[in-house]
Amino acid sequence: MVTIRAFRAIDDPAACERFILGHRRVLEAHGVKKVTSSNNDWAQNPAVFVVNVESEDKSKVYGGARIHASDGVNALPIELATGYLDKSIYDRVHSLRTEGTGELCGLWNSLEVAGLGIGSFFATRAATAIANQIGLKSLWGLCAPYTVRWAERLGSRIQYDIGNKGTFTTLN
């Protein structure tokens, strides 16, 4: 049995650490040793909310996602990852900030639950559901090419006016 729990990152450092370790293990299992645009400073950011798919006793995290609310202080991960390729991302995020915008990122699920629809599906649904509760009317997301169709099925739209018609071929 798993539970899905959402919390502000600064309110549960231990759960953030379990999220970080689980995510790192999944990336390493797929041959990704270091994500250069990634760091774990988000765990101390009051504008970050975490969704953990975890065991009932909270000792094990099977997957999760994060929502970074755009606060005007900390850049969203998508801004950091793509801004050097297309500076218009900064203006786009800024223009949506007053009505509430953020980014759904850090989505992962462990190999233990891969294919069961537990990790990614429920984490994405839960993150999308809490976005409204934390005052966000829009969410950004950066997808790998093989996940774009899945994201569109969940209601996402490609922003063709940034990058190369919505794509970025070189990312840090």
Dist. CA 162–CA 145, nearest whole Å:
16
All structural domains of the chain: 2-153 (3.40.630.30)
- Whole-angstrom distance, CA of residue 42 vs CA of residue 44: 5
Q: Cα separation of 120 and 48, whole Å?
A: 18
- Give 92-149 pLDDT, tens digit per residue: 999 999 999 999 999 888 877 776 666 677 888 899 999 999 999 999 999 888 888 8
Q: In the structure encoding, which two tokens stand for residue 60, read together?
A: 């094990």
Is the pLDDT at 91 greater than 90? The verdict is yes
pLDDT band at 32 (very low <50, low <70, confident <90, very high): confident
